[in-house]
Every structure is written in structure tokens, then in C-alpha cells.
Structure 1
């Protein structure tokens, strides 16, 4: 018998409709916005106390959190491993993934890890567990010309548009900026404190101060001017230009705790400046600090540190008085600073750590691991909690090369305890 002719035509149509519906369901499940949170199942590790020296090597840049975890960034994922002094990257302790948004920046304050995403979402994670503490809407990140290579150092060590600072009352504020908007958010609970409109392309971020301000460079109405915005209210307080400053003014932060956050100094430069001028930051206008003027000088607390004629020299940043001198460093350069430590790298890639107050040598060792050798150039650097992490680049450095040519090895980041 068989189906009537009308029904025979209907069967293929129904089959096609079912196939289309199944395909649509699959596509939705694959492409629909989603997040996957894989929380910790092991106990929170104790704070590490590694011996001085090279800890290990890693394929991606770590953010040291709470002296217990290493936090990493991927294209659409932020994740952690432990122990913090492990020789290699290990199975994730926890992981948080979003789709289709891309991870653009990560910062940490105490045991809170804050991630920022390309759709403007900010997600705060609890470091001990990986659980979501809070979510908040923020401005969509401004487009950046920075190249994000496979180590993701730009995402975790130089989180532009996502800054931390402390207020006088003890609160920690997350300042997040986009092309046309900025917001202040309390790290403790994600409460929005303020939001303001920004003028757009004619203004750029510099960083935050260690006294609760967002530093911006405003070129919108007349000559470039440095503005200091209160992180508690969002209001602009001081607007300042260096005496005799050029119209083409540029500004870079100095003495930052991490990245461009919680900075205690500033270097300004313009056409005709020989390296620029250094300034100390406080509650009012910046204070001249000529000891910070020379290129390559770092600010460590109240000390300006530079290498002069083979010796590291510490001077008072306020009056230029020489405080100490540590000889025998050859053509070393200041690599990074952190509270209580200034790190220098010699021409043979020895890492030398000095006390910035006294100049006393705290440690010195070769930045070598396995059979990698020391024939490399330093790239991006991170220093916190007594650790130093350095990207190792292949000589001669080719900024336009692909990652295989650019980095020394697949595990390009060397991690050391000082």
C-alpha cells in the first residue's frame, strides 16, 4: 500500500524541519553566551617559603596571589594553579571560563581576583575556592594597540583600563575605564561608587596613585594636562601641567606597586626634554624630584635608584642626597621594584636584589634553569611578594616575529624567589 501522494510529500518536509530544529539547538548550545566555573576541590595551600633562587619556568605569565596561588590568563579563561613555587605549571586548582567574551585584564587584591571581559563584564573570584564573589557591569574596554602574545603578560601584568588603589579609610577601589566612561567599584563587594563620562580619544589613562586617585592625560581642550580624579567620588580635583611643559606632553607612572596601579611617582616628557622630568605624587600637585630625571632611574619607596658607572646608587627622591652605593654591577640595569626590594639584571643575566633603603644586597643568583642558559634578553617583568617573573626573549629580539621566533623556549617565563 504506501502513503497517499500528499503524505509522501509531507514526510520529507517534516524530516527537514526536525533536522533544522536539531541543528539550531546544537548551534545555540555551542554559540550561546555561557560561563563555566570549576571550583577548587582541594584545600587552600599554605603560604610558600621557597629558598632564594630560580623557582621554575612557565609557558604563561603568572600573577602571584595571596602568596599561595599563581593565576593565569587565556583567551576566554582565567585559572589558577599551585603550589606557588612549583617548578612547572600544574593542573588547574580552579578555573573560570566565559563565552563568547574574551578576557582582557586581570588584577588581584588580597584574596580577590578580578577579571575584565570584552563585553564590559567584571567578575570577581574568591582565590581560595575559585567561586564567583560578585559580578558588575563596566564600560567596554578601549581598543588597544598592545600585542597580546602567548604568555598573556599584557593581560595579567599590565592591565590597562583596570586599576587598583586604596582610600584613606582603608577601602580598596577598582577603577575601570573605557573609551567614553569610567567607574569606581569597591573590591570588597562589587558596589559601584560612581560613574562618569570621559571625552574619548583625546584623553588617556596613566594609572592610579597610592593615595586614591586616577591619573589621566587630557588633550581635549588646549595643551595636554595631567588630571587627578578622586577614586572615592569620581570627581576631578587637581589639573596640572609641569612648569614650562610642552604641548606634546607625555606622562608615565613610576614606583607602582603592580602594573600601573598604586604609583608614587610620575615622569613627564615632551619635545626638547632630555629624558624627561621626575615628580613625586601626593594629595596636591606633583613635587619636583630631579633625582628621578635620568632615563632608567626607578622609584622604590622614597629612593631613586639608578646604575651609574657600574654601581647601583640610591638617592633621596626628594632632595637628591646620595644614601648608598653598591658597586661591582657592570652594565646592570634596574629590572623591577617592589616594596622592600629593588631588582637589577646584570649583563650576564644575574638577578641582584638590594634593599632600597640601605643598598644591602639581599640575594644574587643566575637566572638560569635546566639547560636553557643565560643567552636571552628580558621582556615583560613582574615583581610581587618577593617573587620576580621575567619573559625570556630570543636574541636578537624581533618584535615583528611570531611567538616561536620571539621567545627563547616554549616555557618562556622564568620565575624566581628573592
Structure 2
């Protein structure tokens, strides 16, 4: 009896150890960090030249890369499809997935797509092949990013990650997190510099002309705009607009493709404090009254403003009127080099040449049976395309995604 009981206990113990080991293996396989990169299997797509008009609708926000691909952000994945003018989202052309890290931000420059993840790692992908070009450790994001299902905050407003350019024309990836900022060479991921900065009191603005990075710093006293050399990380100047209050917001204007070499800055204080426009150069910012006002945009050296249905272009910095064009009531939703995009109250997209005011195209943003009874949300423009979020009227900013967006495919994309 004693021997039998002992044998049963031994068998039970062996089984328990075996079960625990099996569970451990399964848990490891499920929970262990995983990175899966799926490169492109097809040839790099040719550059398409669609006629102006609506080309499709999408469920998530794209970055348009090299005029050939649409790059998207998922919770734990960055991926691309093609062609750009496809009517709907297609099977991924390439994909890169990480787990358990979540995707925090995505930027693109030329044919390089750089993603930043919740653990601070940066992954650069060659958009032509989908293969990883380089990876590097960087500062972790200061806070977990909150975004709705379209992901516009990750691809269109990627705070803490940007591309800049040095005076000698090198492109640089700048990543900032809680208490630290880092710059890497876009070509190979080599670190150029890394600097400790104040924690929780700095807001990266982006890349200005002259190879300088801009940051709003209110770590010690009233807020100032800090200028840092892109190539070396050295702080070259700290500047405050005259009569500025303790708090300050700053918005870059007149940016080139990939938001590099932004030519101007608009600053504003809290509440009803007036906004002021400033031209950026190698010295201190120069006041540009033609850029005052929250709705004014700068493109190709022209300030454009829409009032009472009339779009007016003024010279910067002088402010002299260059042209005016009747487009109807609405607002300027996006600009890009060579194009100003106005969305009218009837949801007609009107595109104007910033040099002359001539109308380049105009059509209603409608597709299928969706109609035009929607309100515009975020918008994005690149490579002669425009993408607009469509929100359900009346807009409820506190509503869930189903109430907030017009349809499951809530983004409409058009060629201009």
C-alpha cells in the first residue's frame, strides 16, 4: 500500500511538472517579445497620374510616400499598400509588426519610413522593399499616445518624432521623450547627438530653416522658443515674442515636403491673446503681420487667408496683395507646395495655385452613397493628394468612434 501510494505521488508530481513546463512554454510563446517583418513581394509601383477627383475612401489615415504608397499605423503595426489611387485599402504591400510594444509615431522622408514605438525603439524601413534599413534605441515617449481609430495623431501629428535637415543637407530623425532628445542620421541610424532636457515642460515644435530645431520650453520661468542646431544639438538661441505671457503655443508654417525647412512660426498666448506671425531665418525671428491670425497659411512665400468666400494671397513679408479668388464660404484645410486646398461649406474641394490664385481643380468630396452631410475633421495633403476625415453631424467630440465618424471608412482621398 505504502509503495503504491508513493508511486502515485511521484507520478502526480511528474505530471504536474510536465504541465507546468508546457504552460510555461505556451506562455513564453504567447507573451515573449515578437517582431515580424514582411517585405514586399511585388515590384515597386510606378508613379500614377490620376485625373483630379475623388479616388477612394479609407478606414485609417495614410501617409503618402514618394507619391506611390500609402503607409498606415495600426496599434502594433506599420504597413503600406498601393497604388495611391486605389479605391479602398488593399492587401499590405509590406508590413512590420512588433509585440508587446505599441506604435507611437510614424514619419517619412523620401523613401524611408521611420516608426517609433512605446519602448523608444526606432525602426527605419525602406519603403521600396519593406525591409528594415536600421533600428536604434531612443528615448521612450513622455506619455502614452491617445488616438481614435483613424490614427491621425500617429501619422499626421506625430509629436516627439520629426525629420529635420542640417545646413549641409543631411536629413536627420529627431526623437524626444521624457527628459531626453536624440538625433540620428536618416541614412544609417547613426547617432549624431543626445541631450538631457527638462521633463514634462517642453513641447517639440519641429524643423525650421537654417538647420534648426524649435521647442517651446517653460521649464524655468516664462515660456520661450528654444533653437537647437540639428547637426550638433547645441542650443543656439532662446527667444520670446515681445509682450508674451507666461504660456506660449507655437505653430510652424510654410513647411516643405515631410514638414522640413518650415519658413515661419505663429505664436499665441493663452485665451484670447492675439496670434503673431514670424519669419524664420538664421537670426532671430522677424515679425510678419501677414501671417497673424489663426486661419492664415503660408505656401511658396504667399500668405493665404479666406474671408467671406474670398481667398486672398499676400506677399510675405511685405503683405502686399498678390491676387484674390472667389471660392465660396469654407476654410483652408491644407496646403502643400504648389497648392492651396479649400473645403467649402458644401464640401466642395477647391484647389488654387498659390502663385497666381488660378483654380487648379474643384469637385465635391462625395463617393458612393455617403453623401455630403458630414463635417470635416483632420486633413492632410501630400504629392497632390488630399485626405479628409468625415465626422458625423452634429460633431460630438466626447462620443465613441461609431458616433464620432460618418462611416467605417471615414476618410476620403482625392487627387487634385
Give the TM-score taking structure 2 as reference length.
0.97
Please tell me the root mean square deviation across aligned C-alpha atoms, in Å: 1.6
**SS, match of residue 346 in structure 2:** coil
The structural deviation recorded for 1:274 is 4.8
Match of 1:278 in 2: 277
Deviation of residue 259 (structure 1)? 7.6
Over 3 Å counting, the alpha-carbon distance change for 1:356 and 1:47 in structure 2 is same
Q: Is the partner of 1:138 in helix, strand or coil?
A: coil
Per the TM alignment, residue 262 of structure 1 is displaced from its structure 2 partner at its CA by 3.8
Change (3 A) 1:258 1:374: farther
1:350 maps to what in 2? 348
Give the whole-Å Cα distance in 1 for the aligned partners of 2:298 and 2:398. 31
Q: Retained in 1: the 8 A contact 2:218–2:247?
A: no
Q: How far apart, in 1, do the equivalents of 2:271 and 2:141 lie? A: 33
Change (3 A) 1:41 1:3: farther
Distance 1:49 1:384 in 2: 14
Q: Give the structure 1 partner of residue 195 of structure 2.
A: 196
Structure-2 residue corresponding to 1:232? 231
Where structure 1 has 5 or more consecutive residues not aligned to the other structure, the ranges are none
DSSP-derived class of the 2:7 partner: helix
* Structure 2: gaps of 5 or more residues: none
Write the distance in 1 (CA, Å) between the matches of 2:334 and 2:134: 32
Could you list the per-position Cα deviations for residues 217-240 of structure 1 after superposition, in whole angstroms to 9, with x for gaps in the alignment? 111222211111111111111111
Return the alpha-carbon distance in structure 1 between the equivalents of residues 320 and 290 of structure 2.
Answer: 9
- Out of 394, 408, 414, the residue aligned to residue 412 of structure 2 is 414
C-alpha distance in 2 between matches for 1:149 and 1:125: 25
Are 2:68 and 2:83, in contact at CA under 8 Å, matched by a contact in 1?
Answer: yes
Determine the C-alpha separation between the residues in 1 that align with 2:147 and 2:272.
Answer: 31
Aligned to 1:201, the other structure's residue is in SS state coil
Is the CA contact 2:142–2:200 (under 8 Å) kept in the aligned structure 1? no
Cα deviation 1:285-316 (Å, max 9, x = unaligned) = 11111011123111112111001232100001
- By how many angstroms is 1:266 displaced? 1.1
Whole-angstrom distance in 2 between the partners of 1:21 and 1:337: 59
Contact 2:314–2:321 (8 Å) recurs in 1: yes
> Given the superposition, is the C-alpha separation of residues 273 and 321 from structure 1 closer, same or farther in structure 2, using an over 3 Å criterion?
farther
**Any runs of at least 4 consecutive aligned residues in structure 1 with deviations exceeding 6 A, and if so which?**
none
Deviation at 1:43, TM superposition (A): 0.9
Find the partner of 1:373 among 371, 374, 384.
Answer: 371
Which residue of 2 is the match for residue 132 of structure 1?
Answer: 132
The answer for the alignment partner of 2:75 in structure 1 is: 75
8 Å contact from structure 2 (residues 226, 239) kept in 1: yes
Q: 1:271, 1:71 → 2: CA distance? A: 36
Check whether the contact 2:141–2:177 (CA below 8 A) recurs between aligned residues.
yes
- Structure 1: distance between partners of 2:252 and 2:298: 10
Question: Which residue number corresponds to residue 340 of structure 1?
Answer: 338
Bigger mean CA offset, 215-224 vs 315-324: 215-224
Partner of 1:218: 217
Alignment of 1:82-93 (within 5 A): 82-93=82-93
Deviation of 1:275 after TM superposition, in Å, equals 3.3
**Secondary structure, aligned partner of 1:228:** strand
Please state whether the residue corresponding to 1:381 is helix, strand or coil: strand
TM-score by length of 1: 0.96
